[in-house]
Amino acid sequence: MMFHFAYPNKGRGKEFIGCGRYVALSYENVPEQGYKPAKPDSKNIANITTAASLLAPDSLHTGRGIYEIKDIQDEIYRGDSQDLAYLLALISRSRSVRSEIPNDIWCTGSIDIKDGKSPFLDAVTPSGFDVKLNAFLSPENPDNLFIVPVSNIQPGHEILFREKNINMVSLAQFREHRLSLQHPCERKTVLTVHGHELNLLTDLIFLSDGENMSDNGLRVALIYKRQAQPDEHLLTLLEKHLAEAGHRVFIDRHMKIGDEWEKQITYELKNADAVVILLSPMSIYSEMLAYEVDIAHKTALERGGRPKLFPVRINFEDPLPQELANKLAPLQYALWRDSDDDMPLVCELLDRLPHPPVPLEMIGGAVPLDSKFYVVRQVDEDFQTALSRRDAVVLLKGGRQVGKTSLLARGLQKARDAGVQVLLTDFQRFIDSQLETLESFFFAVGEMLADQLGTDVYPRDTWKTHRAPNINFENYFRQHILGNTQKPLLWAMDEADRLFHCSFGSEIFAMFRTWHNERVLNPGGACSRLTLAIAYATEAYLFIKDQNQSPFNVGTKLVLDDFSFNEVANLHKRYGSPLMNEELRIFYQLVGGQPYLVRRGLNEIVSQDMRFDEFVAKADDEFVSKADQDDGVFDDHLRCMLMLLNREPELSDIVSKVIVGEPCPDYDSFYRLRSAGILRGDSKNDVRLRCEIYLKYLGKHLRKVETKKSGSGFWKRLFSFGG
């Protein structure tokens, strides 16, 4: 992205620009030997060359891309504004530069996106503004955003905007709705800016690029006394690490005292999420620092604690002057004595910063397609590849709550986008009467498929009583399901484990196996367009004894496992990174990568603004003393698992033995408990509880809850809770 500063012509320069001292340029476009003009055919190349000669390479700050302009003069701004814009267009995208951009570059500008389009225009003079506004409002103009100085907007313009359904917003409104400068608005929008809002506008420019600043970065203001040591040392240290952590840092080091200084300071402090106050024997008597503290303190009182104030005492523990003490004495402060405290101070500050609000989602069930919390894994790519190849049978195998349904949903959407006819059957939706006989099952399945295709021909309409149910259904499926479309057809089945417990389950899967074989034997037949995607948890061979009649040993088999640490860390960032690195590792040990527990835990920490030690204490309390209460972090999930195990004494005993280090007695129980998401491991001898939370909770409560024995099977009840 390139930010073009559009400079006004002679006579209006001071109004918009003032006398700047810093210009940010990207390294790759400013070689050490000097500036290479980006527009060599410019008629005003002399002006560009003159401006470039003012760059002082020796003032380059390592890693920042900041060049100081020496002895800036009005002549620089007298040339064609578009030509000078080329000099300033390649503004650095380094997030640490953001706070360096001075207020004196106020004017409106245009942004060239990487495809070369300019999404909005610049405005300078009133007459020029009207010309460009009319061009912007033209139906032929595809641009949707026009950034203008507030001073250009007249009452007549506001009436015009209302008549033409043009949205006029302030920069604060623009930020509040999280609009992007690259894809800003669905309808034409005029964004009005004040001169002192340049830094905020610059933030939007950087954020729209999406490469540098964290989506959850905070606005942090640093208050200090100029030209004091070690205050300046700490200022630079904190600025560096806050920026590297993705936060936008404001420091008034480039501002001159005056009306604009007061406006900018007030604006920044009132819009900050946190204010760090450097208190030293010199700074505590600074009237300027006291003034800034007063603004921040009053704002925090008015806005329920925002910004959060962080006093840092610099080798100084004496009482504060009364004016500061009234505001800061009640607050917890950090103490810096010497350079040995540099990193401890940085870590403490980063840990204590408020976490920005993250839009959360309900936890449980499939993750919505548009969710920012869905973690893409290698199995996602493998599934997409198998569907793109139109494999005959694609198997998604994974324990309970590992993400099978969420993965399936994304694969189906990709298939729809590719023009495939998609049908979905969730066997959890079937009621008992639909699973009593093979015929009732085929009637139910056929009706669901017909409804999805929009056909009014149902299995009962074609059923011949003298034929076997599977022959009837196959004929119906070929003629009225496959025959209803010439597109490739993907039939996805979720919670297929439900069929393992049916007396006729083997017959259904045998039919699927014959369809797979037919694709090989008859490549031009109707089944060549058919793909079956089957999601399940239980080891199929435990229920299908004749492996020659099973689709589970011929299909493309994909296995879903729990999240890795890196995947949990990725998801943690999307929640605003509420934990420190070591805390995140402890969290991972607790939840073991179990997707539901990971999201539930992070959701609890963020929604309750909970410190990690508070989270651990709450979870520990749940492990030790709660088996029948519902105010814990994972209460409903753990109680459900405990209830099911206590209804099956044999399996409960096996889990109790695994808890103390014994193996599973047989593979049947091992596979059943692993499929249920309680155990993990590669064999009955290499087995353990799925995560530390399960180990602690079940170790304390297993078989201690008296429950009424049920006559139905453990697995049927377990899977009725969803996978």
Instruction: Return the number of other C-beta atoms located less than 10 Å from residue 331's C-beta.
Output: 12
- Which of 104-108, 309-313, 439-443, 661-665 is least confident? 104-108
- Which of 150-164, 237-251, 281-295, 318-332 is least confident? 150-164
Same domain, 386 and 339: no
Distance CA 439, CA 474 (A): 12
Res. 389 pLDDT band, cuts 50 70 90: very high
Q: What mean pLDDT do residues 599-615 have?
A: 86
Mean pLDDT across the chain: 73
Kindly state the greatest CA–CA separation across the chain.
Answer: 100
- Which of 110-119, 150-159, 481-490, 576-585 is least confident? 110-119
Domain range for 237: 219-352
In this predicted model, what pLDDT tens digit does every residue of 210-225 receive, in sequence order? 333 344 578 899 999 8
**pLDDT at position 283 over 70:** yes
SS3 state of residue 551 = helix
pLDDT of residue 80: 34
**pLDDT at position 278 over 90:** yes
Res. 601 pLDDT band, cuts 50 70 90: very high
Q: Residue 67: phi, psi to the nearest 5?
A: -110, 140
pLDDT of residue 255: 55
Most confident of 150-159, 233-242, 605-614, 711-720: 233-242
Same domain, 194 and 264: no
Same domain, 53 and 200: yes
Same domain, 81 and 16: yes
Q: Residue 172: phi, psi to the nearest 5?
A: -65, -45
pLDDT of residue 194: 61
Res. 172 pLDDT band, cuts 50 70 90: low
Q: Which of 182, 209, 236 is the last residue of a domain?
A: 209
Residue (of 106, 77, 293, 111) closest to 205 by Cα position? 111
More confident residue, 532 or 257: 532
Residue (of 448, 446, 437) closest to 474 by Cα position? 446
What's 289's domain CATH number? Answer: 3.40.50.10140
| 264 domain residue, yes or no | yes
Same domain, 130 and 242: no
Residue 181: which residues within 8 A CB-CB, separation 6 or more?
A: 111, 119, 145, 204, 205, 208
More confident residue, 123 or 62: 123
More confident residue, 433 or 352: 433
pLDDT of residue 116: 30
SS3 state of residue 169 = strand
- Which of 8-12, 148-152, 494-498, 628-632 is least confident? 8-12
More confident residue, 213 or 252: 252
Res. 256 pLDDT band, cuts 50 70 90: low
Distance CA 55, CA 60 (A): 9
Same domain, 545 and 465: yes
Prediction pTM value: 0.55
pLDDT of residue 41: 39
**pLDDT at position 366 over 60:** yes
| 347 domain residue, yes or no | yes
Same domain, 328 and 400: no
Residue 131: which residues within 8 A CB-CB, separation 6 or more?
A: none
Same domain, 511 and 395: yes
Q: What mean pLDDT do residues 596-600 have?
A: 92
Same domain, 238 and 323: yes
